[in-house]
């Protein structure tokens, strides 16, 4: 497999106002110590996975400068139904801080994400973009990130099937992963209502490489767990506006994997520190399923956090600030002292 890169564009956009800097972690008095002011700097790159072109996105406060200390790198891995920017850099008219890239760039990170094969601006192929394919995507992206940032290890955050992708990558390439955050993750998927419902379409996933993802389906992401009050309805509309520009079809690979091939990650082989985040109304897993995974993690530097009044989509929820608070504490954990 070859990996090649090119800078498609570099541009700058004005950073959010003072309200984001002061309310970043969820309250008028919240003032994160690492908060940075200035303009956001963004760039896009491409990586090659064989003949497949993969689009990669980057955001930080201020352009890179020669001789400056390298910022910590945070790589965000998207899930099954939405591409990178709608997942992690969403603008909701009249609302603030739905962009995780903005939040963590403000906190001092060099933030990266990518469109997996079959999503967003990446190549549309005859493949179904399953978890194994996603791991190969991350392998192709990693040398780009390392070259551009000077960092050999990165923090990873993955949501839903993106969490499975990120955990499987951590298992495959442990030397690339610093700290790992698994949000809305599922392990074996036992007794998970969402997966039980999804499994009714298993034969379709086996025989089709794409599935319908229209506005109604995107809206259902926020209602299917029976807690629509956890979300602002305008988020679903903003998300659909962005995603439907890429069409109404997305790959079936992760759905097929999650309904017929779990588990896809061996927790005993995930060696890095791990934070597991779960909404208390998330139907894609149970506490028992996730705690089974958590108990087997070999690194004692690990946390399991349940967020109140949150369903499956943590980053879009009204309580996303709580998740950001916990995650920032985890990512900035002081080094452990060996006994």
pLDDT tens by residue, 206-229: 999 999 999 999 999 999 999 999
Decide if 72 contacts 60 (C-beta within 8 A): no
Q: What angle do CA 202, 203, 209 make, to 5 degrees?
A: 85
DSSP for 179-216 reads EEEEES--SS-TT-HHHHHHGGGHHHHHH-SEEE--HH
User: What pLDDT is recorded for position 14?
Assistant: 34
pLDDT tens by residue, 135-181: 999 999 999 999 999 999 999 999 999 999 999 999 999 999 999 99
User: What pLDDT is recorded for position 330?
Assistant: 98
User: What pLDDT is recorded for position 44?
Assistant: 98
Residue among 147, 146, 166 nearest 156 (CA): 166
Place of tokens 């190549």: 123
Low-confidence ranges of the chain (pLDDT < 70): 1-35, 339
User: What pLDDT is recorded for position 23?
Assistant: 39
Radius of gyration of the chain (CA): 19
Decide if 235 contacts 98 (C-beta within 8 A): yes
User: What pLDDT is recorded for position 10?
Assistant: 38
Strands (E), the chain: 5-13, 40-49, 52-61, 73-77, 110-114, 154-159, 177-183, 210-212, 249-251, 274-279, 302-307
Tokens in use for 85? 């920017």
User: What pLDDT is recorded for position 27?
Assistant: 35
5, 156, 165 from 63: Cα distances, Å: 19, 22, 29
User: What is Dmax (Cα atoms) for the chain?
Assistant: 56
User: What pLDDT is recorded for position 29?
Assistant: 32
φ and ψ at residue 172, rounded to 5 degrees: -80, -35
Tokens in use for 50? 């064989």
User: What pLDDT is recorded for position 52?
Assistant: 98
Element (H, E) at 21: helix 18-23
């Amino acid at each position: 497999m070859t990996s090649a890169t090119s800078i498609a564009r570099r541009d700058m956009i004005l950073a959010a106002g003072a309200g984001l800097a002061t309310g970043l972690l969820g309250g008028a008095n919240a003032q994160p110590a690492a908060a940075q002011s200035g303009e956001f700097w963004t760039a896009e790159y491409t990586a090659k996975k064989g003949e497949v072109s993969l689009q990669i996105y980057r955001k930080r406060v201020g352009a890179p400068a020669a001789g400056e200390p390298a910022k910590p790198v945070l790589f965000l891995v998207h899930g099954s139904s939405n591409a990178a920017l709608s997942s992690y850099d969403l603008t909701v008219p009249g609302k603030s801080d739905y962009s995780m890239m903005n939040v963590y760039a403000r906190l001092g990170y060099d933030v990266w994400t990518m469109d997996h094969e079959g999503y967003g601006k990446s190549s549309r192929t005859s493949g179904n973009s399953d978890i194994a394919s996603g791991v190969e995507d991350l392998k192709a992206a990693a040398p780009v990130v390392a070259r551009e940032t000077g960092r050999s290890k990165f923090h990873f955050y993955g949501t839903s099937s993106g969490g499975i992708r990120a955990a499987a990558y951590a298992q495959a390439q442990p030397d690339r992963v610093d700290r790992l955050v698994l949000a809305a993750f599922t392990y074996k998927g036992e007794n998970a209502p969402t997966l039980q419902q999804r499994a009714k379409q298993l034969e379709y996933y086996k025989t089709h490489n794409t599935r319908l993802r229209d506005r109604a389906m995107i809206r259902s992401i926020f209602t299917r767990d029976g807690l629509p009050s956890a979300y602002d309805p305008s988020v679903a509309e903003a998300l659909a506006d962005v995603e439907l520009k890429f069409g109404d079809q997305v790959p079936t690979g992760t759905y097929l994997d999650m309904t017929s091939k779990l588990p896809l990650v061996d927790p005993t082989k995930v060696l890095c520190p791990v934070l597991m985040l779960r909404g208390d109304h998330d139907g894609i897993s149970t506490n028992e399923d996730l705690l089974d995974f958590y108990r087997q993690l070999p690194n004692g530097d690990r946390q399991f956090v349940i967020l109140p009044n949150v369903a499956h989509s943590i980053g879009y929820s009204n309580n996303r600030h709580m998740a950001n608070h916990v995650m920032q504490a985890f990512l900035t954990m002081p080094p452990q002292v060996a006994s």
